[in-house]
């Protein structure tokens, strides 16, 4: 049988589609118009023809991926290049596409462009993208010329045959994936250098800054700026003086795979991997004495060998962030300048803080040098050399190094005279013993029990429940149904269209504004914590205005048992969360015992204060209520399923739902369960396990806590949103009473939603609405709430399916 023409065409295009898919899966080229999908990250991989390199999506943690090139051979994938190192994409819907017009584009799941090969330019006449045997990902035009290559934009690694040019810059990949503080590039003198680069200082530490260029065997006048790593393990550069090259210890041994990487510790290393063992070993290192790497111990820190490289703080200083030397040490004192406070100088022999000299004076006496530091407020100390009489007052103390060798330097530290330094303990730790990365999901400890009374029926609870339900039944059934029915026809067009979902913005993962604030700054922003917005178990919230005039809510957390470092690591995760239904966290402060969060200020205050306000100054209409139910569901779905680290809220309740001027809900306090103390004694558990009336039964039964606890609390919240009544207030007292009352209500509702009768819906819905609601939607929402309140958490829907159900009910009623 001859197929009809359209069917024939459809078959052909299907075949060519299949061909494209299979070529994407196993070949080294990507054709224009085709793409690599994140869902198939294990199979949608480009491979160089010799199989040594692969290119595709690489999982960095749970839900986050980079688009990268790696050595396929190594026992563990060794990333050599990434398109989006600092801005990972989601595990869903992210895609890399070679567009028909030529550019290669990486999009996140909301279609935001995260990276494009050629910026905003348009590559012309593109033939395909290809992963070469060298590990170079290239785009070729129809005449076979390379029009873009990954070798031109390296991340932290140079491969054999890759050129080091004037534009090349390597920056290390740190564990937290924040950009590192070190750079490998040609300096302004065209000398291949390692540079320590932080806001306050930027200086070269390799080649040795104390030597002249010639003593370092570099040539200063060759401005060619060109270098390369050979397959033979030899690093050549235009600034290397005649015949001097950097060689791997196994240089010239054939068949070895190599890479040159700037590691997070600021050292440049060449690595070799030979075939049999498939493990990388260091075959060349730029700096053999780690203490000569600048910034290793942070500001004010001192590096010394005892016998391994170790950091310590000078007298009068303590570690800024225990566990992370990058942040160095901070002074325990404040030297006020105007009062002419008497100072003392503490002598640290064999110690130097390199750079940050205010000036350099030769041939003066020790006393003159000291006096010049005393009168200068910004002087932190000075270095003085007997004999030459050279004096270097320091504006900042960076790159501290202590070494009991011949080249003696002595630093004199300026401290207030009142400070007794003989008894200050000096913290020190091995610097090359980094803390493990702290990027894991919230894992609630299993089997934690709380003294929650056994669920039992009490007469008291019973009577209150009967009161509650008969109260609703007492409303005139017929009238309500009639109004509801009429409303359904008259007002349904005004309902929020489901297209909103598609048009919705605000799904950006990374934040540009997230930062750390000092306590002083926040005290100033809140005018010494004058205006209190509210107070909860996690602490009080104050209104403030930042310097850039952004209004913020500043939350003073109490009961934070987490160490400073852990606190910051957790915040690093929740600070990235950004969704229109989640109150944004702009920053934090962690100083001494202070732990503060700086959050988005939301205008209309909480859902609880509007819903349960006796004055009823604001009555939410049906559209607004439905939209709140939907928005909260979207926010929770995002926390549970979409963001980089899954987050369980653990305390969903109307107090934690803020409403903006358009009554768009924003969930607040997410991530707090991770910050507050939740381990340890059962007393502490009450702080974290949620709020009476909203807590799921698994908190009692000791089952592991999953996202389904939030689904349960959402169920309660939605019932309250519809009825306008606070359940936990209907049964005064114990958790058990509230719980048993709620179970009865759910049982009755479960019965009703399955039945044919309709009038009960009108009885349940808040009377403040005077029957102005969408019957169909209300029924759907109630049915949903009942399923969220299932005792067996496996029977509860996920927040994602809740969103879907609400959206389709919205659509159906339009």
Please say which residue, 386 or 420, places its beta carbon nearer to ligand NAG.
Answer: 420
CA distances (Å), origin 434, targets 264, 310, 657:
10, 12, 39
Please say which residue, 142 or 365, places its beta carbon nearer to ligand NAG.
Answer: 142
Label residue 760 exposed, middle or buried (CB < 10 Å: 0-12, 13-18, 19+).
Answer: buried
Catalytic site includes residue 44: no
Residues near ligand NAG, by CB under 6 A:
50, 52, 73, 75-76, 124-125, 133, 141-143, 145, 147, 174-176, 178, 215-217, 222, 224, 226, 238, 244, 257, 275, 279, 324, 326-327, 420, 422-423, 434-435
CA distances (Å), origin 318, targets 184, 325, 435:
31, 11, 19
The residue from 651, 669, 735, 766 that is catalytic is 651
Could you tell me the smallest distance in angstroms from the CB atom of residue 39 to ligand NAG?
Answer: 24
Please say which residue, 175 or 518, places its beta carbon nearer to ligand NAG.
Answer: 175
- The DSSP bridge pattern shows strands 257-262 and 268-273 to be antiparallel
Please say which residue, 73 or 152, places its beta carbon nearer to ligand NAG.
Answer: 73
- The DSSP bridge pattern shows strands 302-305 and 309-312 to be antiparallel
Q: Rg (Cα) of the chain, in Å, rounded? A: 32
Please say which residue, 175 or 682, places its beta carbon nearer to ligand NAG.
Answer: 175
Could you tell me the smallest distance in angstroms from the CB atom of residue 235 to ligand NAG?
Answer: 12
Please say which residue, 134 or 780, places its beta carbon nearer to ligand NAG.
Answer: 134
Q: Answer for the pair 278, 401: CB distance below 8 angstroms, yes or no.
A: no
Could you tell me the smallest distance in angstroms from the CB atom of residue 679 to ligand NAG?
Answer: 21
Please say which residue, 13 or 145, places its beta carbon nearer to ligand NAG.
Answer: 145
| d(C-alpha 752, C-alpha 242), whole Å | 90
Angle in degrees, CA 751, 752, 756, rounded to 5: 115
Question: For 692-697, which contacts have Cβ atoms below 8 Å and span 24 or more sequence positions?
Answer: 692/728, 692/735, 692/738, 693/653, 693/726, 693/727, 693/728, 693/735, 693/738, 693/742, 694/651, 694/652, 694/653, 694/728, 695/735, 696/793, 697/455, 697/739, 697/791
CB neighbour list of residue 336: distance below 8 Å, 6 or more residues apart = none
Tokens of 657: 């739902």
Q: Answer for the pair 384, 351: CB distance below 8 angstroms, yes or no.
A: no
Please say which residue, 147 or 291, places its beta carbon nearer to ligand NAG.
Answer: 147
CB neighbour list of residue 735: distance below 8 Å, 6 or more residues apart = 452, 453, 692, 693, 695
Please say which residue, 204 or 721, places its beta carbon nearer to ligand NAG.
Answer: 204
Could you tell me the smallest distance in angstroms from the CB atom of residue 301 to ligand NAG?
Answer: 12
Could you tell me the smallest distance in angstroms from the CB atom of residue 720 to ligand NAG?
Answer: 41
Could you tell me the smallest distance in angstroms from the CB atom of residue 420 to ligand NAG?
Answer: 4
Instruction: Write down the residue that tokens 């299932």 correspond to.
Output: 790
Tokens of 740: 């048993």
Count of other CB atoms within 10 angstroms of residue 226: 18
| d(C-alpha 669, C-alpha 355), whole Å | 44
| d(C-alpha 125, C-alpha 637), whole Å | 43
Could you tell me the smallest distance in angstroms from the CB atom of residue 207 to ligand NAG?
Answer: 7
Please say which residue, 157 or 723, places its beta carbon nearer to ligand NAG.
Answer: 157
CB neighbour list of residue 710: distance below 8 Å, 6 or more residues apart = 636, 639, 640, 648, 649, 650, 652, 799
Q: What single-letter DSSP state applies at residue 638?
A: I
Of 221, 389, 398, give the one whose Cα is nearest residue 300: 398
Tokens of 241: 């003086």
Could you tell me the smallest distance in angstroms from the CB atom of residue 239 to ligand NAG?
Answer: 8
Q: What single-letter DSSP state applies at residue 356?
A: -
Strands annotated E in 132-233: 137-141, 146-149, 157-158, 163-164, 182-186, 192-197, 202-206, 227-229
Label residue 652 exposed, middle or buried (CB < 10 Å: 0-12, 13-18, 19+).
Answer: buried
Please say which residue, 26 or 208, places its beta carbon nearer to ligand NAG.
Answer: 208
Tokens of 741: 């009352």
Of 694, 576, 653, give the one whose Cα is nearest residue 64: 576
Could you tell me the smallest distance in angstroms from the CB atom of residue 51 to ligand NAG?
Answer: 7
Could you tell me the smallest distance in angstroms from the CB atom of residue 178 to ligand NAG?
Answer: 4
Could you tell me the smallest distance in angstroms from the CB atom of residue 217 to ligand NAG?
Answer: 4
Q: Which residues are designated catalytic?
A: 651
């Amino acid at each position: 049988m001859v197929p009809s023409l359209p069917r024939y065409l459809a078959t052909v295009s299907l075949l060519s589609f299949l061909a494209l898919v299979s070529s994407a899966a196993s070949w080294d080229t990507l054709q224009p118009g085709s793409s690599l999908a994140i869902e198939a990250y294990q199979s949608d991989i480009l491979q160089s023809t010799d199989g040594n390199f692969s290119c595709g999506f690489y999982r960095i943690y749970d839900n986050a991926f980079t688009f990268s090139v790696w050595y396929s051979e190594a026992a563990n994938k060794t990333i050599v290049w990434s398109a989006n190192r600092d801005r990972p994409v989601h595990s869903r819907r992210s895609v890399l596409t070679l567009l028909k017009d030529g550019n290669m584009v990486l999009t996140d799941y909301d279609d935001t462009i995260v990276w494009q090969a050629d910026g905003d330019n348009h590559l012309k006449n593109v033939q395909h993208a290809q992963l070469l045997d060298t590990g170079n990902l290239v785009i070729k035009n129809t005449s076979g010329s390379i029009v873009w290559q990954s070798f031109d934009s390296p991340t932290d690694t140079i491969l054999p045959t890759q050129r080091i040019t004037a534009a090349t810059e390597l920056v290390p990949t740190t564990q937290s994936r924040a950009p590192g503080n070190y750079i490998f590039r040609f300096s302004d003198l065209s000398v291949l250098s390692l540079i320590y680069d932080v806001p306050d200082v930027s200086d070269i530490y390799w080649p040795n800054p104390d030597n002249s260029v010639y003593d370092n065997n570099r040539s200063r006048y060759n401005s060619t700026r060109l270098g390369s790593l050979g397959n033979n393990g030899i690093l050549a550069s235009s600034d290397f003086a005649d015949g001097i090259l950097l060689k791997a210890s196994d240089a010239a041994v054939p068949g070895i795979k190599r890479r040159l990487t700037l590691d997070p510790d600021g050292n440049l290393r060449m690595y070799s991997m030979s075939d049999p063992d498939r493990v990388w070993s260091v075959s060349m290192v730029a700096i053999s004495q780690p203490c000569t790497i600048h910034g290793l111990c942070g500001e004010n820190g001192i590096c010394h060998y005892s016998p391994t490289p170790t950091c310590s703080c000078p007298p009068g200083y303590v570690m800024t962030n225990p566990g992370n030397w990058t942040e160095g040490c901070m002074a325990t004192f404040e030297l006020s300048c105007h009062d002419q406070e008497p100072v003392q100088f503490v002598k640290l022999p064999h110690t130097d803080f390199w750079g940050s000299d205010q000036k350099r004076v030769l041939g003066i006496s020790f006393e003159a040098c000291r006096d010049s530091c005393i009168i200068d407020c910004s002087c932190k100390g000075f270095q003085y050399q007997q004999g030459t009489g050279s004096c270097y007052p320091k504006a900042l103390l960076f790159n501290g190094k202590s070494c009991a060798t011949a080249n003696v330097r002595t630093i004199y530290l300026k401290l207030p005279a009142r400070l007794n330094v003989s008894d200050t303990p000096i913290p020190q730790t091995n610097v090359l013993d980094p803390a493990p990365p702290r990027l894991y999901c919230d894992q609630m400890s299993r089997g934690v029990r709380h003294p929650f009374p056994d669920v039992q029926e009490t007469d008291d609870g019973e009577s209150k429940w009967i009161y509650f339900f008969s109260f609703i039944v007492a409303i005139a059934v017929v009238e309500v149904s009639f109004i509801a029915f009429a409303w359904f026809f008259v007002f349904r067009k005004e309902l929020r269209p489901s297209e909103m979902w598609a048009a919705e913005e605000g799904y950006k993962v990374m934040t540009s504004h997230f930062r750390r604030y000092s306590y002083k700054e926040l005290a100033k922003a809140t005018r010494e914590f004058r205006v209190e917005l509210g107070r909860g178990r996690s602490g009080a919230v104050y209104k403030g205005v930042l310097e850039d005039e952004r209004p913020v809510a500043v939350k003073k957390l109490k009961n934070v048992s987490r160490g400073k470092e852990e606190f910051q690591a957790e915040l690093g995760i929740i600070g990235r969360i950004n969704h229109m239904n989640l109150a944004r966290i702009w920053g934090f402060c962690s100083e001494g015992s202070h732990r503060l969060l700086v959050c988005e200020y939301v205008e209309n205050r909480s859902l609880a204060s509007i819903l349960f306000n006796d004055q009823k100054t604001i009555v939410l209409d049906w559209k607004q209520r439905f939209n709140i139910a939907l928005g909260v569901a979207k926010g929770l779905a995002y926390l549970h399923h979409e963001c980089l680290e899954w987050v369980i809220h653990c305390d969903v309740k109307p107090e934690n739902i803020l409403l903006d001027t358009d009554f768009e809900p924003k969930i607040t306090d997410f991530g707090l369960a991770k910050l507050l103390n939740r381990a340890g004694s059962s007393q502490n558990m009450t702080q974290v396990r949620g709020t009476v009336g909203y807590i799921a039964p698994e908190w009692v039964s000791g089952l592991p806590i999953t996202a389904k606890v939030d689904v349960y609390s959402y169920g309660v919240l939605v019932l309250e949103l519809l009825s306008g009544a606070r359940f936990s207030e209907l049964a005064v007292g114990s958790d058990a009473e509230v719980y048993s009352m709620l179970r009865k209500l759910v049982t009755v509702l479960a019965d009703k939603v399955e039945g044919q009768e309709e009038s009960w819906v009108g009885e349940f819905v808040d009377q403040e609405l005077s029957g102005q609601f969408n019957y169909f939607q209300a029924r759907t929402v109630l049915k949903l709430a009942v399923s969220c309140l299932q005792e067996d958490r496996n029977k509860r829907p996920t927040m994602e399916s809740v969103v879907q159900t609400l959206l389709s009910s919205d659509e159906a009623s339009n």
